[in-house]
Structure 1
Amino acid sequence: MLKATGYQDSPALTGQSSDGDIPHGRELSFAWLSGTVMTGLTSVLLMGAALYVSFQGQNNFSTAYEALRLAAPQPETITRTDMNAKSDRVRPVARTRSELETIEASIRENVDGRDIIRKQPFMRIRATLATAGTALSSDIPTYDPVAILSATAPTTSDNPEVNTDIYGAEVEGEVAMKLAPMPVSFVPPRAINDQTAALYVRQSVETAYADVEPGALAYASAVPGVRELGIADTDTLLTGVAENVTVIPQTTSADELGLGRTERILTMKDVTPLDEVLKKNGFTDAMVAAITNTLHNVFPVVELPRGARLRILFGPSRTSNSLIPYRMSIYVHDDRNNTDVHRATVALTDKGQYVLGLKPAPITFPEEDTEEINVANLPSIYRSIWETGRKHDLDDATIKHIIGMYAYDVDMNKRIGAGDSIEILETEPDASGQQDLLYVGLTLGTNLRQLYRFVSPDGGVSYLDPEGQTGKRFLNRRPLKGGGTLRSRFGYRIHPIFHTRKLHTGVDLAAPRGTPIYAAGDGAIEFAGRQSGYGNKVEIKHVNGYETAYAHMNAFAKGIKVGTKVRQGQIIGYVGTTGYSTGPHLHFEVKINGNLVDPLSVKLPRENTLRAQDQGAFKKVVAQINDLMQRAPAPVSVASN
């Protein structure tokens, strides 16, 4: 009956196919079947990986691990199992530093022809850069090179006579100095012996005939330099690298595609108001008020005693690109038993209210403040400086000034690394609350960038590095509003349209259509028009053999034509996608003496250097500020009742 309906007798299916041959007829090859399935899975994973890094604006998967930029772990490390996640993986934990200190020095000044010695206080900040953005920096202005340009413009000080002329001996109060002629019979003691003098002479003679390697061009280095080898410059070697950090490469989980959770541990070094420490750690006024009301019955104390600890768990906000406090726990130190006793915990509910919560899982508290490092949370250098500055009560104008001092030498859109830090020295506030910024030291990775305040004889105020050069480069590396998103670097790549391996002669900075494009530096327009695959293009000639090019513009700014002189920060066009382009972006090129270079890494000259006649005065300022940065903080006086 089955045969009548069309069925026929046939051999059964068999897995005994000929080895190495394609299976025929009713033969099955498990090797071929497995290979087909594996090929499909691999293709799906590769396509998913390509889409992920593309949407993230990355070039490869190693970005997250490299973003840590940490030194090799030292024998003493800190690790803590993440009690808040569903896994037992270990997250890196870094020690954080946050010091706002008052230091005092005996300053010598001339008043009405008399030398006066008096005590003068200074404010010193030493802190690691914030590794997460919170409500403290949620309202900061958008990164804009034009605004930064105005912040770094030459200024004159309302108080050019800020005195750092340190007197060697410490004095109390104020004393007057009187100079008298030295007696003829006075014989000063020896300050140097014959052996030391002979050693100095020998070294002077030997170094006088030493071979000096001539400097190579920035774009034509004959041998790999220390930067190419991944080693920090010896003259900017960091005095202390990021230690006590455990780095564990890990697969990014779905929870970490956006901002992830992180826990911060703080120890009170002195009696501290609770609301003050909360506001400096990402709690808004509304949050502080809600937490205070919630704690009223179980922890009515408004001040945290010395040695008290806070455990703050942060998580992503639903409404902003910031971390918000999910949970906060208070521990009070028991000196008798040398233990930390849990006193209260508040937690954020789904309705946005803070309620009393359960005691979190116990941990061993470290001696110093720490914070978990979540690569997804690492903010840009720009936002991190804002976050850190506001945490230490710097006014917004000072923070803008600090960013402007480094914006031409540092890629502000780049993420910070764990252990990056900043040092700041200011004068004490005067009667009007005005403070003068004397010194900033920014440590990124293993590179320390120092800038010292110097007032020239004509009253002009500038910030110079230890060699007497300004922190401002004469070319901006990312000349468009907001800095753009880096989509393609300089170097060989597979062309996105022609699919051939070609040299990418610049960098691609993606931005919305119509975003203003600025002149990277002062110069004259050499070309403004349409050019083959570049679309609408502008070329600017600068001094000393430097040239810049801007391609794929949507339109040119008014008045941009050949021969027009432009200044740094002037709008020359708008982002578009003309020519061979797959989306709106700026293709930016830099040439030095006709040679194409990487705009993001080439060493660029400073705008100006210190005059020879001012070198001596500047070196004295550097020595005095370095002395202040090394001094111990002034003792804190406690009033008795």
Structure 2
Amino acid sequence: MNAAQRNRHAALLKATGYEDSPALTVKSPEGALPQGREISFAWLAGTVLTGVTSFMLMAGALQVSFKGQDTFSTPFEALSISASQGATPAPTSLVGKTRRAKPVTQTHSDLEVIEASIREVVDGVARIRNQPFTTINATLATASTALSEDIPTYDPVALLARNEPLRANPSAELVSTDIYGADVEGELTVRTAALELTDPPHRAISDMSAAQFVRLSVEGAYTDAEGPLMAYAPPSTSLRELGIEIAPGTVEGVAENVTVMPKTRAAEDMGSLRTERVLTIREETPLAEAFMRNGFTTEMVAAVTRAMQNVYTQTDLPEGTRLRILFGASRGSQTLIPYRVSIYDDTTHRVTVALTDQGRYVTALEPPKIEFTEEDTEEVNVGNLPTIYRSIWETGRKHGLDDATIDRIAAMYAYDLDLTRRVSPGDSIEILLSGTVEEDNQDLLYVALTLSNTTRELFRFQTEDGVIDFYNPDGETGKQFLLRRPLEGGGTLRSRYGYRRHPIFGDYRLHTGTDLAARSGTPIYAGGDGIVEMAQWYSGYGRYVELRHANGYNTAYGHMSAIADGISPGARVTQGQVIGYVGSTGQSTGPHLHYEIKINGNTVDPLAVKLPRANSLPQQYQTEFASTVAQVRALVEQDGTPVTTPVTVAAAPATTTAN
């Protein structure tokens, strides 16, 4: 290297920040600050030790703040319960200091058996009898306990396959919801007979006469408390006088396009946190049954009752008793287990049993006092809410529904909803069943699922060919002709439809589908009946299949590891048929299915787009179905009072006699 090259090289090094300086040295005056190129090992060691000490102190503070105290009771503390029954926690107790505020929601869990007078026609003869029905109106569970630990794994395709219409058993008794407009005792048989021609009816009758006739002939169909006579318009409370001025600042109308959500939402991958449930026993209930319906296993019930038997000897919980249950995480599972349970006579503490670090339940001190309310309450961990699917199972088992009925309910909503989405506090479900809970053959008649203030109703209806299915109020089934998550197990949602930063190229672009992660080789199903348009390697999509469905709908499936045999352009496929397998071909960062739905060539969000229904009632059943909807709503809305509805008398040349 000549001098010119050496000078050029030195200039480049200097331009990039390098300089020609003497080497570092550890020779510095004793006790003096290091200067220039000098290094002091004493000063370096002091700096490192200061940093390590600060880190350990901060870690200890965070450990106490975020984790809190782990032990609620120890055997030693349990032995001193008689001496400190009324003791309150010390001001320095970590239980009180580290308890972070959580949202608290009101819950309700109402199971009621009602009786209604039902009219049914058997062999052309109308019979009127009393029929019991069971109504369940409850908020969806916001915590996962042992009740739903062994539920079937969520598989949308398998779930939908179990939602086929039922075939009525010819020998089975048909459940009638045709409510008769009066209370009856025993059973009545109604027959019709022709009018005598020698005694024709009057040409016209007055409204007063008609009302008097109904009053005398149908007991209970009309009462004075119902206001004006039938022929007159009832007083309206929904209209106001035009001359009345509205006070300034008064807001009228209904708020539209408003979504109610929790104020804050933690990350979905947060661990299980503790939550406390407070509920009131509405009627005398066996102690073990109350525990089982609130997430205790058989072993837990035995351990808890054994621990409290010396303090609380009752085997039944009287009406008005309050249960206060603290749930917490179990090791290696997302299921919450009872950490502590307290029993109160109204607001008077009777006994508390808590779980020790050794996994045993022992009697313990009364927990910190709280203010009891009339409504049941539960703390909500918004970062650990269960999925809709698991919440339906948890709520159903809590109210004693059999697994087949719960599975049917989940399957009926599998087309219309993404059941892997988490519930929101306040979501609820309403169910109508024939008979009572003690019967083995209860029939599901009605389900209403309310999610985020949107209610989806389904009514049971049987057609003349004996086929039983569930329809919404418009006479459409819950089935849609395209699946929203067409792969075994439903996959794990990794990326939604919409604009995002591309994981490979880093630019901001539209993601035209939904990414559902699953293991390589997981079967992929056809979203609906259709014809294969493409089945080949397609640019960044890798191995790719596109299906054409009716009415301008197409579905596309990308990044497959392999395309199933027989899937080629022009081939016909049916909904649920395997068309390929999950892979990571093309521009992909891991095994997943890229699923698209197109309408007239334009992509839409597969999880949110409103899809057409696959089946609806023929026109010939619309009138009968509308009557069924009205009768079922009368049952679920009557709130424990005798069911009476207006009776419409058709003008026909016949008389009615009751035996």
TM-score by length of structure 2 reads 0.73
Mapping for residues 151-550 of structure 1, pairs under 5 Å: 151-158=162-169, 159=172, 161-179=174-192, 181=195, 184-185=201-202, 187=205, 189=207, 230-231=257-258, 249=264, 257-333=270-346, 340-428=347-435, 433-550=440-557
1:521 partner SS: coil
- 2:270/2:384 contact within 8 Å kept: no
Q: Look at both structures and tell me which one has the larger radius of gyration over its CA atoms.
A: 2
Give ranges in structure 1 of 5+ residues lacking alignment: 15-24, 27-81, 200-225, 233-240, 334-339, 636-641
Q: Tell me which residue corresponds to 2:594.
A: 587
Q: Which amino acid aligns with 2:296?
A: F
In structure 1, distance between residues paired with 2:291 and 2:26:
83
State the alpha-carbon separation in 2 of the partners of residues 249 and 317 from structure 1. 25
Per-residue displacement from partner, 1:18-67 (whole Å, max 9, x unpaired)?
A: xxxxxxx99xxxxxxxxxxxxxxxxxxxxxxxxxxxxxxxxxxxxxxxxx
Maintained 8 Å contact 1:83/1:361? no
**Following TM superposition, by how much is the alpha carbon of 1:522 offset from its aligned partner in structure 2, in angstroms?**
1.2
Check conservation: 1:104, 1:634, Cα contact below 8 A.
no
In the alignment, the residues of structure 1 paired with residue 632 and residue 175 of structure 2 have an alpha-carbon distance, to the nearest angstrom, of 12
- State the shift of 1:481 in Å: 1.7
Distance 1:284-1:432 versus aligned 2 partners, 3 A rule = closer
Residue identity opposite 1:456 in structure 2: T
1:388 deviates by 0.5
2:77: which partner in 1?
none
- CA distance in structure 1 between the partners assigned to 2:340 and 2:279 by the alignment: 14
SS of residue matched to 1:553: strand
Distance between the aligned counterparts of 1:128 and 1:435, measured in 2? 22
Contact between 2:178 and 2:631, CA under 8 Å: does it hold in 1?
Answer: yes
Alignment of 1:56-135 (within 5 A): 86-87=97-98, 89-135=100-146
| Cα deviation, residue 194, structure 1 | 9.6
- Which residue of 615, 620, 639 maps to 2:627? 620
Q: Closer, same or farther in 2 for the Cα pair 1:402/1:7, shift >3 Å?
A: closer
User: Deviations 1:456-502 (Å, cap 9, x if unpaired)?
Assistant: 11111111111111111111111112222211111222211111122
Q: Residues 16-95 of structure 1 correspond to what in structure 2 (within 5 A)?
A: 86-87=97-98, 89-95=100-106
Aligned residues of 2:207 and 2:231 also touching (Cα < 8 A): no
Aligned to 1:627, the other structure's residue is in SS state helix
Q: Distance in 2 between matches of 1:195 and 1:292?
A: 63
Q: Deviations over 1:378-426 (max 9, x none)?
A: 1000000000011111111111111111111100000000000000111
Q: Deviations over 1:4-23 (max 9, x none)?
A: 99989xxx999xxxxxxxxx
The range that moved more, 443-452 or 508-517, is 508-517
Name the SS for the 2:333 alignment partner: coil
Per-residue deviation, residues 183-209 of structure 1 (Å, max 9, x unmatched): 513725268999969x9xxxxxxxxxx
SS in 2 for 1:433: coil
Partners in 2 of 1:250 and 1:529 — Cα distance?
42
**Range with bigger deviation, 132-141 or 486-495:** 486-495
Deviations, residues 72-122 of structure 1 (Å, cap 9, x unaligned): xxxxxxxxxx99574354221111111111111101123454322110011
Q: How far has the Cα of 1:606 moved from its partner?
A: 0.5
Query: Equivalent residue for 1:141?
Result: 152
Query: Matches of 2:400 and 2:26 in 1, distance apart?
Result: 90
Q: What one-letter code is carried by the residue in structure 1 that aligns with 2:140?
A: L
The equivalent residue for 2:40 is none
Deviation for aligned residue 1:562: 2.2
Is contact 2:535-2:544 (8 Å) kept?
yes
Distance 1:85 1:404, change over 3 A: farther
Distance 1:132 1:5 in 2: 62
Residues 469 and 606 in structure 1, CA contact (< 8 A), matched pair in contact too? yes
User: Is the Cα contact below 8 Å between 1:127 and 1:421 reproduced in 2?
Assistant: yes
In structure 2, relative to structure 1, the CA distance for the partners of 1:95 and 1:7 (3 Å cut) is closer
1:570 paired to 2:581: no
**What is the one-letter code of the residue matched to 2:270?**
L
CA distance in 2, matches of 1:84, 1:574: 51
Superposed CA offset, 1:204-230 (max 9, x none): xxxxxxxxxxxxxxxxxxxxxx99x84
The answer (yes or no) to whether the contact 2:400–2:437 under 8 Å persists in 1 is: no
Q: Note the C-alpha offset of 1:178.
A: 4.3
- How far apart, CA to CA, are the structure 2 residues paired with 1:93 and 1:377? 14
In structure 1, C-alpha distance between the alignment counterparts of 2:117 and 2:266, rounded to whole Å: 56
Q: Which residue of 2 aligns with 1:68?
A: none
Q: Does 1:604 align with 2:628?
A: no
CA contact (8 A) 1:143 1:481 kept: no
After superposition, what is the alpha-carbon deviation per residue over 1:527-549, rounded to whole angstroms, capped at 9, x for unaligned?
11211110111111111111000
Alignment CA distance shift 1:112-1:95 (3 Å) = same
**TM-fit CA distance, 1:446:** 1.4
What is the CA distance between 1:358 and its match in structure 2? 1.0
Provide the secondary structure at the position in 2 that maps to 1:376.
coil
Return closer, same or farther for 1:535/1:184 CA change in 2, 3 Å cut-off.
same
Deviations 1:254-286 (A, max 9, x none): xx9201000001101111101001000000000
Deviations 1:103-157 (A, max 9, x none): 1110112345432211001111101000011000001111112221222212212
What SS is found at the alignment partner of 1:361?
Answer: coil
SS in 2 for 1:401: helix
Q: Give the Cα–Cα distance (whole angstroms) in 2 for the partners of residues 365 and 416 of structure 1.
A: 26
Displacement of 1:526: 1.5
CA distance in 1, matches of 2:303, 2:324: 18
Q: Is the 8 A contact 1:102 1:634 kept in 2?
A: no
On the 8 A contact 2:267/2:383 being kept in 1, the answer is no
Whole-Å separation in 2 of the counterparts to 1:605 and 1:574: 27
Deviation at 1:328, TM superposition (A): 0.3
Q: Secondary structure at the match of 2:334?
A: coil
**In structure 2, do the counterparts of structure 1 residues 359 and 546 end up closer, same or farther at CA, with 3 Å as the change threshold?**
same
